[in-house]
Structure 1
Amino acid sequence: MDALIYTVMSGAERAMRAQQVHANNLANLETGGFRANLELASSKAVAGPGYAARHLSELQADAVSARQGVQRQTGRDLDVAVQGDGLFTLQYQGGEAYTRGGNFSLDANGALLFGSHPVLGEGGAIVIPEHSSVQIAKDGTISVQAPGETELQVVDKLKLVKPTMAGMTKNEAGLLVARDGAALAADASVSLNPGHLEGSNVSAVEEMVATMSLNRDFEVQMKMMKAADGMAEAGNRLIRE
């Protein structure tokens, strides 16, 4: 009876955790470049003498979906999307973080930003000088046309990386980082689609179906917990009699 309670309690916890993951995915349905989280769990035997028949549902670090989102054309000079696999590199708390979002902006000093995070290039944080136009090429090269000039001048090149998504996780800011915390090397094979933005890769239908399935799982866990409680009460009654 107590062996059943181990399984039921950990299973209910796993269902509640999974609900949170899918709710977060749905909340970011319209967030550009967002990568859906994948909730993972596995069975684990309870260690110790006399616990061989008891198993727990052990939560694991969430994985990140590698599926690509739909791209839409914006025509904006500082909007860019990754074609195929690849990530943009950002400066984050003295290290690096990565994203698929490409809706960049400039601050008053010309620093290229994604939200509040500096975008990194081959020479470090990218700063765009005074210009009349700016262009991002398919290979990530950033060129500007200075006021009064007719020629484009290369400023820097975006640092583009191409890791396997199995080796990536999300930090507290929702940005992608390597599981081992190491900075990733630039990959020249990554190609961009200038003037476009990639949307979230979350499927509303899949998330809703998963949520309904988890609701049913949680209800079953609660019924099993009541059954285990009834079995324990019946056993105690037999002992008393």
Structure 2
Amino acid sequence: MENAIYQSMQAAIRLLENQNIIANNLANISTNGFKETFNLIIKDENVNNLYKIQTQKYYNFSEGILTNTQRKLDVIVKDSGWLVIKDMNGKEAYTKNGHLKINAHGQLTIQNYKVVTNKGDIKIPNNMNVKILSDGTIKKIEEKENKIFEKKIGSLKLVRFSKNNLIQKNNGLFYLKKNILNQNLNVPHDNTVRIQSEVLEASNVNPTKNMVDMISNARQFEMNMKMISMYDQNTERANQLFNVNN
């Protein structure tokens, strides 16, 4: 009896964890570059022990739908490349969201996080005409006497990782796993990473699948709660019978 209750309880806990992940996926359908998250159940087949069952997050790194925006500060990072930003704690984090904006201080930002540039900070006034090259170089464009002049003012820091080396935190940003690199160190710029400007990558979340999974999880959770309640009632009745017989 206790084993059956424990199984139902563990199943309910895993279903709640799945619901949180699905809810986060659905909440980020409109977030550029967002990567869908899943929960994978891991169990050692050679060990018949419920305590050995674990869940692990993994990510769908497939590319979302690409949209031509014709906006100079919209970019996509190709293949396994990533843009680098500074999180609220000043640590480097990584994102596929290429919707860059210029804040009041002339700094490039993504979702209000400061974008990390390669070799020094840059300042970009809002009225400056700029373009971003495929290697991340940022140039200002000026027209003088009917001639176009271009001047490099900085470049984006671009990095490349194996998808197995990354972990996503609650802020939606990706970080290197601690066993891969000391988090106090910064990953060097990768000259081989390429981007494309005037294009945005949408979230790769499949809303239909996530809604179906959410409904299924809710029904399974309800079933497990009923089973726990039934086991509890049976135990109570058994105790009553035991007391009567004594």
Q: TM tier, shorter chain?
A: 0.7 to 0.9
Specify the SS of the correspondent of 1:121. coil
Q: 1:107: Cα distance to partner?
A: 2.3
Query: Partner of 1:15 in structure 2?
Result: 15
My pick for the range that moved more, 87-96 or 163-172, is 163-172
Kindly indicate whether residue 226 of structure 2 is the aligned counterpart of residue 228 of structure 1.
Answer: no
Query: The residue matched to 2:148 in structure 1 has which SS?
Result: coil
1:205 paired with 2:208, answer yes
State TM-score, norm by structure 1: 0.84
Structure 2 runs not aligned, ≥5 long? none
Distance 2:176 2:190 in 1: 15
Q: Give the CA deviation at 1:41.
A: 4.0
> 1:74: Cα distance to partner?
0.6
Counterpart mapping for 1:1-241 below 5 A: 1-43=1-43, 55-56=50-51, 60=55, 62-92=57-87, 93-128=89-124, 132-146=128-142, 148=144, 150-180=148-178, 181=183, 183-237=186-240, 239-240=242-243, 241=245
CA shift in 2, pair 1:61/1:123, >3 Å: farther
How far is the alpha carbon of 1:103 from its aligned partner?
A: 1.0
The farther-off stretch of 137-146 and 183-192 is: 183-192
1:5-47: CA deviation from partner (whole Å, max 9, x where unpaired) = 1221121111112111101111111111111222244458xxx
- Displacement of 1:214: 1.0
Say whether the 8 Å CA contact 1:31–1:199 is kept in structure 2.
yes
CA contact (8 A) 1:8 1:225 kept: yes
Between the aligned partners of 2:121 and 2:228, the Cα distance in structure 1 is 55
Tell whether the 8 Å contact from 1:22 to 1:211 is kept in structure 2 after alignment: yes
Q: Distance in 2 between matches of 1:124 and 1:199?
A: 29
Cα separation, 2, equivalents of 1:123 and 1:4: 60
Q: Distance in 2 between matches of 1:72 and 1:203?
A: 17
TM superposition shift of 1:4: 1.5
The Cα RMSD (Å) is 2.6
Q: What TM-score does the superposition give when structure 2 sets the normalisation length?
A: 0.83
Q: Quick check: 1:118–1:125 contact (8 Å CA) kept in 2?
A: no
Q: In 1, distance between residues paired with 2:60 and 2:48?
A: 34
Quick check: 1:87–1:161 contact (8 Å CA) kept in 2?
A: yes
Distance 1:188 1:30, change over 3 A: same
Equivalences, count: 234
User: How many Å separate the matches in 2 of 1:214 and 1:234?
Assistant: 30
* Contact 1:3–1:53, Cα closer than 8 Å, also in 2: no
Aligned equivalents of 1:90 and 1:124: distance in 2?
A: 14
* Structure 1 residues not aligned, in runs of 5+: 45-51
Tell me which residue corresponds to 1:49: none
User: What SS does the corresponding residue of 1:151 show, helix, strand or coil?
Assistant: strand
Cα displacement (A) at 1:117: 1.5
User: What amino acid sits opposite 1:171 in the alignment?
Assistant: K
